[in-house]
Structure 1
Amino acid sequence: MNFSRPATLRTVGPVVQAAFRLVTGFLFACHGAASLFGILGGAHGGGTVPALQWPGWWAALIELVGGLLVALGLFTRTAAVICSGSMAYAYFSVHQANALLPIKNGGEPAVQFCWSFLLIACLGPGVCAVGSLLKRRPAVGIDDRPAPVPMS
């Protein structure tokens, strides 16, 4: 039996992976922007999180910066691990105290983001990531030719 992926999945898979990364990062960044700046409906009823307040302001900062980094595909794995951890912390410190299951304690978004970012951290950014584009560009003035060997 042949267990290899079909050709269409091999070609479309990286694009879908990148789209998933982009959408997940963008939505996460929107949460952070709403909490920090009161835009897009604001934090919990239209306001902003007080500056430097633990953990809300710091979580919003991770959401904004981490979400943007993941969406852009820059330091993707590291940013995704931090974002995933922040959502795990949010779930266990805020939501789980209210009820055991996410459907009862309002923690579905935290759980979904946590696992989504963990998936992104494991799979990487996919195609069209800024980090991948930067790695491919050679430095100015440097080429791939080997250095000449000195003659003795």
Structure 2
Amino acid sequence: MIVALHRLADPVTSIFRIVIGLLFTLRGIASIFGVLGGHRGSGQAVEFAVWPTWWAALIQLVGGLLVLVGLGTRIAAIVCSGSMAYAYFVVHQPEALLPQQNGGELAALFCWSFLLVAILGPGKWAVESLMSRRREEERSPALATAS
């Protein structure tokens, strides 16, 4: 049973990364373009280059896309995690101590989810994993013929 579960670790890691990246990307799209309900459900886009909302939305869009496809995953996930920690402590936590009281549950969940992605890595189903496998395949025949 445990051996069977161990085989699922890599696919589940990849699926987790893809889902978290997609959800974050959609939040960025909503905030920057005012679609999908807009910023925080207002139906509006955030004003261009306004600190910190527009920049947070840009991190959501770009960082979420990078995590989604698995390219520069660990660095992108750290930036995304940090942006959500900032959102929690600067925007939500001053309102009340607990996430259930201050509306910061989503920021806390994204923060810890991206930290997990940064630690676990992108998994096999990622662009950077594919690129790494191709480089190894290109080197392997060269090493075999050199011997």
TM-score, with length taken from structure 2: 0.91
Unaligned runs of 5+ in 2: none
C-alpha distance in 1 between matches for 2:20 and 2:105:
15
Aligned partner (choices 7, 12, 21) of residue 25 of structure 1: 21
Secondary structure at the counterpart of residue 144 of structure 1: helix
Equivalent-residue separation in structure 2 for 1:19 and 1:136 (angstroms)? 19
Report what 1:104 is aligned to: 101
User: Partner of 1:74 in structure 2?
Assistant: 71
Counterpart position of 1:125? 122
Q: What are the Cα deviations for residues 74-93 of structure 1, in whole angstroms up to 9, with x where unaligned?
A: 11100000000000000011
Question: CA–CA distance in 2 between the matches of 1:138 and 1:106?
Answer: 45
Q: Is the 2:82–2:111 Cα contact (8 Å) retained in structure 1?
A: yes
For residue 138 of structure 1, report the CA deviation from its aligned partner. 3.2
**Structure 1 segments of 4 or more deviating over 6 A?**
146-149
Corresponding residue to 1:15 among 11, 18, 31: 11
Higher-Rg structure is 1
2:142 matched residue in structure 1: 144
What is the TM-score with the length of structure 1 in the denominator?
Answer: 0.88
1:147 shift after superposition: 8.7
Aligned to 2:34: 38
Q: Contact 2:124/2:130 (CA < 8 Å) preserved in 1?
A: no
Contact in 1 for aligned 2:88/2:108 (Cα 8 Å): yes
The DSSP-based 3-state class of the residue aligned with 1:137 is helix
Report the residue type matching 1:80 in the other structure.
Answer: A
The C-alpha deviation readout for 1:55-82, integer Å capped at 9, x for no partner, is 0000000000101111111111000000
Between the aligned partners of 1:147 and 1:43, the Cα distance in structure 2 is 57
RMSD of Structure 2 on Structure 1 (CA): 1.9
CA shift for structure 1 position 146: 7.1
Alignment partner of 1:116 out of 107, 113, 117: 113
Tell me the distance in 1 between the aligned counterparts of 2:56 and 2:146.
Answer: 53
Would you say how many aligned residue pairs link Structure 1 and Structure 2? 144
Structure 1 portions without partners, runs of 5+: none
Q: CA deviation at 1:145?
A: 2.7
- Partner letter of residue 117 of structure 2? I
